[in-house]
């Protein structure tokens, strides 16, 4: 797939209500626990821009190649560097599918990797590791919450759903990870949970 910049959807593009999202919950939580698939890779070259790419490199020094994380992250270490605990954003494909519908509307969520796998804390608590392509990621404890931009793009009900109740418990807005082994990932790659 060629790299492409995707426009942000508007919540008026067909926002799902909480009842619809709750009805999708059993399907979302039925995602496989130990192995999954990397469905989409998104690079954020600068704030507000998204590129859906077929493959990229992930490194401990720069995160997703070409992503703005390494040039100006909202969270920094004491010495001012981008914080590794928010290096890579991941979201369950089934969740963004339930919220956004068609794939063309996924990238606006702002996550880097959309994965068809159970990413809940019950399955992947902080400190867990997953292998994708030739890289290894470690899940961090940093909360990932829906914000005003998420409301603007997918509607208030979607934001409330992921930020409260079952959505919060299962971290359905998404999770963060850091790179612990540099490597290359390609859309369609298998994702494997590594033994602790």
Identify whether 136 is part of a domain.
yes
Give the CATH number, domain containing residue 73: 2.40.33.20
- Residue 111 pLDDT exceeds 90: yes
The SS3 assignment for 63 reads strand
Identify whether 172 is part of a domain.
yes
Distance CA 53, CA 127 (A): 27
CA-to-CA dists, residue 168 to 41, 71, 121, 158, 161, angstroms: 24, 29, 10, 12, 8
Distance CA 187, CA 132 (A): 10
Domain count, the chain: 1
Identify whether 82 is part of a domain.
yes
What is this structure's pTM?
0.90
Q: Where are the alpha helices (DSSP H) in the chain?
A: 18-29, 93-100, 148-154, 156-163, 165-169
Q: Which percentage of the chain shows pLDDT scores above 90?
A: 75
- Residue 141 pLDDT exceeds 90: yes
Q: What is the pLDDT of residues 60-88, one digit of tens each?
A: 999 999 998 877 766 666 777 777 899 99
Residue 81 is part of which domain span?
4-190
Contact 147/154 with Cβ under 8 angstroms? Answer: no
Identify whether 196 is part of a domain.
no
Identify whether 176 is part of a domain.
yes
What's the pLDDT band for 1 if we cut at 50, 70, 90? very low
Mean pLDDT, range 41-56, rounded to an integer? 92
Please identify which residue in the block is written with the tokens 């971290």.
Answer: 171
């Amino acid at each position: 797939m060629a790299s492409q910049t995707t426009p942000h959807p508007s919540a008026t593009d067909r926002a799902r209500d909480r009842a619809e999202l709750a009805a999708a919950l059993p399907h979302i939580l039925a995602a496989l626990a130990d192995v999954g698939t990397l469905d989409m890779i998104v690079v954020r070259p600068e704030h507000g821009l998204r590129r859906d790419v077929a493959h990229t490199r992930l490194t401990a020094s720069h995160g997703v190649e070409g992503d703005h994380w390494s040039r100006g992250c909202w969270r920094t270490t004491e010495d001012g560097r981008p914080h590794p605990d928010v290096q890579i954003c991941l979201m369950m494909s089934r969740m963004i599918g339930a919220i956004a519908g068609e794939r063309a509307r996924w990238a606006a969520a702002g996550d880097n990797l959309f994965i068809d796998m159970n990413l809940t804390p019950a399955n992947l608590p902080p400190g867990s590791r997953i292998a994708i392509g030739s890289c290894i990621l470690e899940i961090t404890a940093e909360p990932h919450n829906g914000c005003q931009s998420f409301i603007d793009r997918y509607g208030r009900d979607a934001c409330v759903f992921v930020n409260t109740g079952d959505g919060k418990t299962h971290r359905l807005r998404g999770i963060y990870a850091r790179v612990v082994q540099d490597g290359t990932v390609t859309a369609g790659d298998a994702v494997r949970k590594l033994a602790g």
